[in-house]
Structure 1
Amino acid sequence: MTPSLIIDAHLDLAMNAIEWNRDLSRPLQEIRMREMHMQDKPDRGRGTVCIPELKKGKIGLVVATQLSRYTPPGSALPGWHSPQQAWAMTQAQLAWYKEMEAIGEMVQITNLNQLDQHLALWNDDQIPDENKPLGYILSLEGADSLVDISYLHKAYEYGLRALGLSHFGPGRYAPGTKMEGPLTALGVELLREMNSLNIILDVTHLTDEGFTQALDIYEGPIWASHHNVREIVPTQRQLTDEQIKLLIERGAVIGGMLDCWAMDIRFIDTVSDPWQLNVRLENLVDHWDHICQIAGNTEHIAIGSDLDGIFGTEQSPWDMDSIADLQKYQGILAQRGYTQKDINNIFHGNWLRFLRKSWKA
Structure 2
Amino acid sequence: MESIDLHCDALFKLMTGKVPNLHGDGTGGLDVTYERLGECGSRLQVFAVFIPPRLDDRGLYPLLESIDLFYEKVLSCPGIVFVRSREELQKCRAEGAIGAMLSLEGVSALQANPVVLLRLLHTLGVRAVGLTWNGANWAADGIMEARGGGLTASGSQFVRQCRSLGILLDASHLSERAFWDVAALLDTPFMASHSNARTICSHPRNLSDEQIKALILKRGLIGVTFVPWFLEASGNATVGHVLRHIDYICSLGGEHAIALGSDFDGIDEHVPGLSHPGQLYNLRNELLKRFTEEQTRGFMSQNAWSFFERNLPS
1:323 counterpart = 2:274: no
Cα gap change, 1:88/1:105 in structure 2, threshold over 3 Å: closer, same or farther? farther
3-state SS of paired residue (1:145): helix
Q: Is the 8 A contact 1:8 1:63 kept in 2?
A: yes
* Aligned-pair CA distance for 1:238: 0.7
* Aligned-pair CA distance for 1:116: 1.2
3-state SS of paired residue (1:316): coil
* Aligned-pair CA distance for 1:50: 1.8
Cα gap change, 1:8/1:54 in structure 2, threshold over 3 Å: closer, same or farther? same
* Aligned-pair CA distance for 1:106: 3.2
Q: Is the 8 A contact 1:198 1:221 kept in 2?
A: no
Mapped partners of 1:260, 1:193: distance in 2:
35
* Aligned-pair CA distance for 1:166: 0.8
Mapped partners of 1:360, 1:93: distance in 2:
23
Letter in 2 for 1:338: F
Mapped partners of 1:247, 1:106: distance in 2:
30
Mapping of residues 1-361 of structure 1, within 5 Å: 4-19=1-16, 21-32=18-29, 47-69=30-52, 71=53, 78-81=54-57, 85-100=58-73, 101-104=75-78, 106-122=80-96, 134-146=98-110, 147-148=112-113, 149-179=115-145, 180-267=148-235, 277=236, 279-295=237-253, 298-309=255-266, 311-312=267-268, 315-335=269-289, 337-359=290-312
Letter in 1 for 2:271: P
* Aligned-pair CA distance for 1:64: 1.0
* Aligned-pair CA distance for 1:22: 1.4
3-state SS of paired residue (1:291): helix
Q: Is the 8 A contact 1:207 1:236 kept in 2?
A: no
Q: Deviations over 1:63-100 (max 9, x none)?
A: 1111124x4xxxxxx3322xxx2421111111111113
Q: Is the 8 A contact 1:25 1:105 kept in 2?
A: no
Letter in 2 for 1:168: N
Cα gap change, 1:159/1:360 in structure 2, threshold over 3 Å: closer, same or farther? closer
Mapped partners of 1:289, 1:232: distance in 2:
10
Letter in 2 for 1:218: L
Q: Is the 8 A contact 1:165 1:206 kept in 2?
A: yes
Q: Identity over aligned residues, as a percent?
A: 25
Q: Is the 8 A contact 2:3 2:44 kept in 1?
A: yes
3-state SS of paired residue (2:304): helix
Cα gap change, 1:93/1:227 in structure 2, threshold over 3 Å: closer, same or farther? same
Mapped partners of 2:185, 2:85: distance in 1:
25
Q: Is the 8 A contact 1:198 1:220 kept in 2?
A: no
3-state SS of paired residue (1:255): strand
Q: Is the 8 A contact 2:81 2:88 kept in 1?
A: no
Deviates further, 169-178 or 153-162: 169-178
Q: Deviations over 1:110-166 (max 9, x none)?
A: 1121111111121xxxxxxxxx5x321111011112242210000111111111111
* Aligned-pair CA distance for 1:263: 0.5
Mapped partners of 1:15, 1:105: distance in 2:
22
* Aligned-pair CA distance for 1:189: 1.5
Q: Is the 8 A contact 2:200 2:245 kept in 1?
A: yes
Q: Is the 8 A contact 1:165 1:174 kept in 2?
A: yes
Cα gap change, 1:176/1:332 in structure 2, threshold over 3 Å: closer, same or farther? same
User: TM-score scaled by structure 1?
Assistant: 0.81
3-state SS of paired residue (2:55): coil
CA RMSD, Structure 1 to Structure 2 (Å): 1.8
User: TM-score scaled by structure 2?
Assistant: 0.93
Letter in 1 for 2:66: Q
Letter in 2 for 1:285: L
* Aligned-pair CA distance for 1:103: 4.7
Letter in 2 for 1:352: W
Letter in 2 for 1:22: V
